Amino acid sequence: MAAKFELYTDNAGEYRFRLKAGNGENILASEGYKAKASAENGIESVKKNASDDARYEKKETSSGKHMFNLKSTNGQVIGTSQSYESTSGRDNGIDSVKKNAPGAEVSDLTA
């Protein structure tokens, strides 16, 4: 199974997307958007920025786990990873976004 973006609505009625790896694991999730077009623009921004190392912000959570944000050229966060136990897990997550996001299909679950 190939990686894909899933576009969906959350319980609050906002549009969100997530990037799922070929194995079905979530590797990146968006914030909530009021408009579907804004979420679609977010997906395009992830595709465009995924290959740029400078766009990744590596962080440690308050509980000592590791995660990352993918930022657009204007510095806004466009996607957030899950929490990883190790820095190598987080770095593998970044590699997965870089490899999978640019060509990932979009599955619209809002229709």
Query: In tens digits, what is the pLDDT along the chain, a chain of 111 residues?
Result: 789 999 999 999 999 999 999 899 999 999 999 999 999 999 999 999 999 999 999 999 999 999 999 999 999 999 999 999 999 999 999 999 999 999 999 999 997
Distance CA 37, CA 15 (A): 9
Distance CA 53, CA 43 (A): 18
CA-based angle 18:13:76, to the nearest 5?
50
pTM higher than 0.75 for the full model? yes
Closest C-alpha to 78, from 102, 51, 43: 43
3-state SS of the chain: helix, strand, coil percent to 5? 30, 35, 40
| Domains defined for the chain, CATH in brackets | 4-108 (2.30.29.80)
